[in-house]
Amino acid sequence: MLSYRHAFHAGNHADILKHLVLTLCLRHMNTKDKPYLLLDTHAGAGLYAIDSDEAKKTGEYIDGIARLWNRVDLPPPMKPYMDALQACNGGLKLRRYPGSPWLAGHFAREIDTLRFCELHSTDFALLRREFKEAGRRVKVEQCDGFEAMKAALPPPSRRGLVLIDPSYEIKTDYPRVVTAVKDGLKRFATGSFLVWLPFLPSIEARALPDKLKKLPTDWLYAGLTVRGPATEGRGMTGSAMFVVNPPWTLKADLEASLPWLTNVLALDAKAGWAVEQNAATPGAR
């Protein structure tokens, strides 16, 4: 049963890290003239109202994107991401937060192909409406994103980026992520795979980063923690992005951004950040 809806969490600290990494990777893809495929396996609704009942119920954006909105001391690598958010809101008051499909549509070029997968019926309908006039370069499907990877890879252009961002509301999401990346690399060894990881107290969540780090490929791991564990041992304390075949510029951009982000988003003294890289062929991308 699918119950998770991202509208309750849009604009939180995890979104900021995920979408900063996505923006940096998309901009790097744009540096070459050849077209690419962007496949979003768990796309959500595409765009979220910060003043909606769902967002107000949790208020997660207050300690997330709202803390960044009026800052004028952004690290340079963060500026394109924040400029995109300004564009999404018409340069006015913060009322909307763009999901990964909106950001992909904003940064991708007319020659690139965007494929968005979403199973939840409500979010799928919203996503399809958001892109109803996007033309043939955008395909919105109500389907299992893990399964869609098998048919979509490798893309004809042999350039592509896959964003894997499940809710992890069911435990099978954890092994499916590892299997999907392994299978994706067999089909498309040079593709970039971006995986979002939650920092949760469960055994599955704690084990997932190490399982991914054992992959025999180039990867980058970036983590952002905003608080220490709650006394009752519940809740998400932060998140990470695991990037297979990362842009050669990504590590430096994140090392310039994450210390600042940690300071701005920290909820207690246990906030922190980390960047690790396993680069068999440094500078190749």
3-class secondary structure, 197 = strand
3-class secondary structure, 226 = coil
Angle made by CA atoms 97, 99, 103, in degrees to the nearest 5: 100
Distances (CA, A) of 155 to 110, 130, 148: 16, 24, 12
Cβ proximity of 165 and 41 under 8 Å: yes
* 97: phi then psi, degrees, rounded to nearest 5: -125, 125
Tell me the two tokens of residue 75: 């690290």
Active site residue 210: no
CA-based nearest residue to 11, from 83, 96, 73, 87: 96
Q: What does DSSP say about strands 138-141 and 160-164: parallel, antiparallel, or unpaired? A: unpaired
**Any idea how long the chain is?**
285
Distances (CA, A) of 83 to 42, 68, 70, 74: 24, 12, 12, 11
Angle made by CA atoms 148, 177, 282, in degrees to the nearest 5: 100
Residues pairing with 222 in the sheet: 241, 275
3-class secondary structure, 34 = coil
Q: Choose the catalytic residue: 15, 165, 218, 253.
A: 165
Gap between the Cα atoms of 134 and 194, Å rounded: 24
- List, by residue number, the catalytic residues: 165
